Each structure stands twice: as C-alpha cells, then as structure tokens.
Structure 1
Amino acid sequence: DHLAVCAVDLRGEIRARAVRHGTNRGRDPRPVVGELTALVRRVVADADQEGLWPAGLAVAVPGLVARDGHTVVHAPNLDWHDIDLGALLPAGLPLSVDNEANFGALAELWLGDATPRDFLHVSAEIGIGAAVVVDGQLLRGNRGFAGELGHVPVRPDGPRCACGGRGCLEQYAGEEAVLRAAGLEARDDAVGLLAREAGEDHEGVRRALHDAGTALGIALTGAVNLLDPESVVLGGALAGLAPWLLPSLEAELSDRTTGPACPVSVSRLGPEGPLLGAAHSVVRAVLDDPATVAERA
C-alpha cells in the first residue's frame, strides 16, 4: 500500500526520504517499479545536494525472494510471480532484494534497544511476516523462504487466502482482516484509525484486536515450541496496536507453550523497520568492505 525510499549515511542518519501512498495490489510490476525508481532518483538527487553519493540499493518486498538476491518468487498480496527486480531497477548500483520481515529483523538487531541475539521478529501491514534470528544471523531456510508466519493456518477450514491456502493467520490478524472484523473501511492510516477507535473504547474494534491477538498467539505458539527463541519482538503495524493485541496473544503463548512463557516485546522502530533495515544493510556492507566501495567511486 505504499512505496518508500530513504538514504542513510555512514553514521546511520537518514539524510533524504520520499514516500508514495497508494495501492499496488494486482498492478503490473513494471509501472510500480517505475514509480519506485522515480523515488530513488529523487532521494539520490536530494542526497547529492548534501555531497553524498549512493553506495548501493537494497529493496524490501512483501514476498518470497530467491537466493539470487533480486528475484521475487511470489508476493501474494501483490500477486507477483517470478519478477526479476534486477532487470527492472536502474543499473549501476549493487542491488540486494530481501523479504521485508528479514530487513525488519535486521533493523531490530542493529538498531533496537537491548535486543537479544536470538529472537523471533513478527511484523505486519497488509500481510504478516516473520524472521528468525539465531546468534545474530538470519535463519533463511533451504530456499531462503523461512518466516512465512502469515500463511501458517490457525483454522484449517477458514477462508481462502491469497496464497491459495485456507485459514491462514493473515485472514485473522492482517490489517485488512482486522478492519473488516471491526466494521471499518480500509484507508491509508489504518493502524492509526484502529488505535484511535480502540483508545476510545470502541467495543467492535477492541474485540477485533483481541481476536487478532488470539490468532497471533496460536500461530506463534508453534514457532516458539519449535525454535525456543529468547524472545518475540512485535514490529511493523503490530507495534502500534500492541496495547490491545498483547493480552490475548500472551495468554495464548502462556497456555500453549511447553516451557516457561516466552517474553514478548514491542519494537520502537515500528513500521520503519523494513525501510531502515534495507538502508542500513547497504551501510554495513560499506563498513565491512570499504576498499571495494572506494574502487567503484
């Protein structure tokens, strides 16, 4: 539901930024990437005014990304299949593409407040994604697809999901599902709307968020029992709704996990996590190998 670009300098400060809101679901990827490219060029031009030049481009996408680091294999909420972003984005910059939940988890690892090195990071906007960090490293899985928590079924006979399955977590705790359950229409600032209505004791909204927290807790129980993380971190849109999600989520975890209850924390980065994680991944690559960047300059 939006495109965003930011430039981060070597000190980690955001020096330029551009955002375009609007639905991208079902659109051909070429015009979407064309609009993204225009935002990239605007941010590069703004950064150039401050004497900065781009060292690389990292792109966070809501979908499965191949290990080649540039092909979107499947993005259900965009309806994209096997899209090579490397062929559509401007040439000349080192490019990396990754799942937005992965970049969100890396941002939490690098920029979060006292975040452990072993945690499960859950983020949400339209869809729900997760990333597993073990000893400070992403657990990617054999094909690089680990972390698709949003498509874990919580009710196998539930409604059909965009992924093709039934009763997926996204159908109960995704942004659109919560709005629908609360009787509210979709809009750009859906999280802000839900938070305001819940804060004003809107019974339907609070009930919808309680049920979403329950569904999250059911899905997370399987991951916690399987992986035994040190903690669960709520990021993305979930961070802004934590006061109403956490009670039922934590109750499910407490009732269903085999060991002591896994602590749940809320990311201070919120929806900015994937954007910051992508930008900081470029910065860290520069700091890890400055000689290569100097050669390109």
Structure 2
Amino acid sequence: MSAQVRPSRPRQPERPVRQENLRTLNLELVFRHIVAAGGPISRTELATSTGLTRPTITRIAEELLAGQLITEGGPAHNGRAGRPRVGLTLSEKGPAGLGLDIRADGLAACIVDLTGTVRHLAFAPSAGRDAPDVLAGLAHMADAAIDAITAEDLTVVTATLAVPGPVHAGIVQSAPALGWRNVDAGALLRGATRHLDLPITVDNEANLAALGELYASDNTLSSFVYVSGGLGIGAGIVLDGQLMRGARGWSGELGHVTVHPEGEPCPCGSRGCLQTYASLPAILSDEPVPAGTTPDAAITGWAEAGRPATLAALDSAGTALGIALSDMLNILDIDTVLLGGSFSLLASWLTANARAEVQRRVLTATWAPITIRPALLGPDAAVIGAALTSIDQIRQHPTTWLALRPSHSRPTAPA
C-alpha cells in the first residue's frame, strides 16, 4: 500500500529582482567569499569565484573598504607566477560584537571584532541571583566594555546575552538555578545600560557555547554535544555544522533528564534530575565556599588535595552525567562530547565515570568509540560564543552595518 503524499504548498509568486536588491545580493556574496577565504584574496580571484565582472568586484570592494568591513592586506598568494596581487581581508576596525554571560563564578563580558579576534574579555563577581541586580551588573560591564573598545576604532553593533535556561521570544522561560521565571532579560538589561539603542538578543548559554566551539574549530568538528556545567546543566547539540534548537528552541535541557526516578527533588518540580547530582551546588552539597573563592575553584582545590567527600561527590556526578549522556547519544548518534563551563575545569574527575557509563549503555559504543573531552574554549565558551554570534550577523548581512553609516558613500554605477 503506497503512502499518501500531501500536496506541497503553493509557491509564492516570483517577484522581479530590483536594482537595489541585486546590489545587496552581490555585495553580500562578495563579502561572504572574503570571510570564507580566511586570508588575503585578490579582486581577480573574487571575480573568478563569484562569477561577477571585474568592474563590479572593484565597485563592491571600494564600498566595503569605505565601510571599514575589509582592508587591503598582504599579497594574495595563488601559487601562480607573476607579480603578487593586492589581497583583501577582513578589517580589524569597524563593527564588533558584544557577548555577556551569567556564570557559576560571576559575570563575563566579551567583545570580538569582525575577524573573530577577542578584543576585550572581562569578569566580575556574581551580583546575587535576583534578575534586576544580575542584569544591572551586566549592564555596567557592557558599558565599560563598549567605552574601552571605542578607543580602538571599533563600534559594537549588537549584543547577545547568554542565560542558563530556555528562552522564547527574548523571555527567559525558566532558569531554576537562578530562581528566574518569565524574565524579560533583554528589557531589564537595556533599561540598565547607557547604550539604550544597542540591539540585544537573549539565548541559552549552552547553545551559544556550542556555537563558540563550532567557530573555534573552524567547522572541522561538525557534530557534537556540548555540555555546560555550572549552577545548572545544559547541552548544545550541533549536527552537521548546524545548531539543533528543537521545534520551539528549547532543546538541550540535559540537566532535567531523569537519572534516578525516585531521587532528590529538583527546583524544576521533578525528581532525580541530572542537575540534582552533577551541578556545582550538588557537588558542593551545602559545603560553604571559602571567601574570595569561586565554587569550581573550591571543588578543584579540594579534589586536588584528595578530600574524600569531594572525590565521592565528583564520582557520583560523573556517573550521573554518563547515564544522562547515554540516553542522548543513543538517540542522536553523535561521537563527541565536549565538557564545558565549570565541567571543563572538573573534567579530570568527571570523565572516567561518565565514559564508563557511556561505554556500558550506548549501543554502538563498542565498535564506534565516543570521545568525551574538555571544551576548547573552557569556561569562556558561552561569552565568546555570544560575542561571535553577534558579529556573525554582520558577516552574514554586511549591509546592516553599512546602513548604520549615513556618511558612507554609495556608488551609483550599475551592479
């Protein structure tokens, strides 16, 4: 019996491509080729790779140069004989992206330029857990970062805030580790900063950290699970180079996967969640953190000193983590797990038990080994990923930046 095939949706009527639209499409095409080149690329090479004429390439290059999106760098080496051609490369001035993060050990702010280089990275102690206080602290850091980077001829054009919980339409639906529910974090942040006109995006910190790791790997790591451990536990899932957000953008709540059905109560309202066994508060088990020390630093120090209670808590956390990961890996068929956030600092004590559970429970682990290792960017993955996500908007749509520069001259020659 053949399956019923539903008729496809009617196609939208095609519209003519207007001159201004064609100009924008060509400019963005050329700019993406410059981004992808990873180094100086000549105008001639751009004409060949894009299929555009040399005069069009010249006009677009002049517009990008005037807009501080590219610069004329070293010679473009194409392996051919003859005089080296002048190369075009991404500018280290002009637009920049701001990332902000709420961490287990405090707050963080990061600014990256168009090349993806970190130009500013700062940390501050935690401002408690009350949303207005936390976001006021981040606003102060954002203002200080923007003021500092302006002196380097950089302009922050957008900001991305990383939060430990699911986000929908800019609203933090729930962040049990902070006690937040239905918090309009973007509005609170915008209201507390002096840079009120700065567009602000709010996203889950594990998702942003996963994107940070993807950028940092130059896309050589195309499928992996990023596990962010701290006050809570989240996961960013990357499949074939794309972040998997789920139908409503709430995928990756690994901390609320049940590992013991009749276990400890969780702030989310359920019982036996991974978070109740493997988060920093669970590992600390009400043990006070010495003044001037962060939770992960305290745990690391006690573990290195061989403190039995700490080592037992880490063993339990690693086992619980492995159980939760096994369920995820059996479903997703992914062969790499990155331990990030505070877990990147505690990986030496978590990995063995987590790997043992994965080896025991994942069906394919016997003939297809699974790698569990610390994340490349460590605890800074979320804030760097947030900043890179911000600047990536300009990489994808450079005309957004050019539109912000009213003095920028636009050629009138046809595209």
Give the shorter-chain TM-score range: over 0.9
> Given the superposition, is the C-alpha separation of residues 208 and 114 from structure 1 closer, same or farther in structure 2, using an over 3 Å criterion?
farther
Deviates more, 1:109-118 or 1:169-178: 109-118
1:108 and 1:115 in contact (8 A); partners too: no
Judged with a 3 Å threshold, the aligned counterparts in structure 2 of structure 1 residues 248 and 115 are, in CA distance, closer, same or farther, namely farther
1:224 to 324, 329, 332: 329
TM-score (ref. length: structure 1): 0.92
Q: Structure 1: which 5+ residue stretches go unaligned?
A: none
Describe the shift of the 1:148–1:200 C-alpha distance in structure 2 as closer, same or farther (beyond 3 A): same
- Over alpha carbons, which structure has the higher Rg? 2
1:77: how far off? 1.4
CA distance in 2, matches of 1:154, 1:23: 32
**Residue 185 of structure 2 corresponds to residue 82 of structure 1:** no
* Distance in 1 separating the partners of 2:301 and 2:184: 40
Deviation at 1:131, TM superposition (A): 1.2
In structure 2, what is the Cα distance between the partners aligned to 1:271 and 1:34? 22
Q: Distance in 2 between matches of 1:32 and 1:241?
A: 25
Aligned to 2:154, what secondary structure does the other structure show? coil
The one of 154, 162, 165 aligned to 1:60: 162
SS in 1 for 2:273: coil
Question: Structure 2 residue aligned with 1:43, among 145, 153, 157?
Answer: 145
The residue aligned with 2:344 is 239
CA distance 1:85–1:191, shift in 2 (3 Å): closer
CA–CA distance in structure 1, aligned partners of residues 298 and 139 of structure 2: 30
- Percent identity reads 39
Separation in 2, partners of 1:215, 1:191:
18
Give the structure 2 partner of residue 201 of structure 1.
Answer: 306
Q: What's the C-alpha RMSD, in Å, of the aligned pairs?
A: 1.7
Change (3 A) 1:113 1:236: farther
Structure 1 counterpart of 2:374:
266
Q: Is the 8 A contact 2:126 2:134 kept in 1?
A: no
Asked if 1:293 is matched to 2:401, the reply is yes
- Structure 1 window deviating more from structure 2 (93-102 vs 193-202): it is 193-202
Q: Quick check: 1:141 aligned with 2:246? A: yes
For 2:206 and 2:400, the matched residues in 1 are separated by 28
Give the Cα separation in 1 of the matches to 2:199 and 2:242: 22
TM-score (normalizing by structure 2): 0.67
CA distance in structure 2 between the partners assigned to 1:41 and 1:128 by the alignment: 29
Task: Tell me whether 36-45 or 85-94 shows the greater mean CA deviation.
Answer: 85-94
In structure 2, C-alpha distance between the alignment counterparts of 1:253 and 1:290, rounded to whole Å = 44
The runs of 5 or more residues in structure 2 that have no matched partner are 1-103, 191-195, 406-415
Following superposition of structure 1 onto structure 2, how do residues 87-102 of structure 1 map, counting pairs within 5 Å? 87-90=187-190, 91-102=196-207
Contact 1:112 1:267 survives alignment (8 Å): no
1:65 is displaced (CA, Å) by 0.3
Structure 1 Cα separation of the partners of residues 136 and 312 of structure 2? 40
Correspondence for 1:8 among 92, 109, 112:
112
Deviations 1:134-189 (A, max 9, x none): 11111111111100000111111111111111111111100011111xx7423542
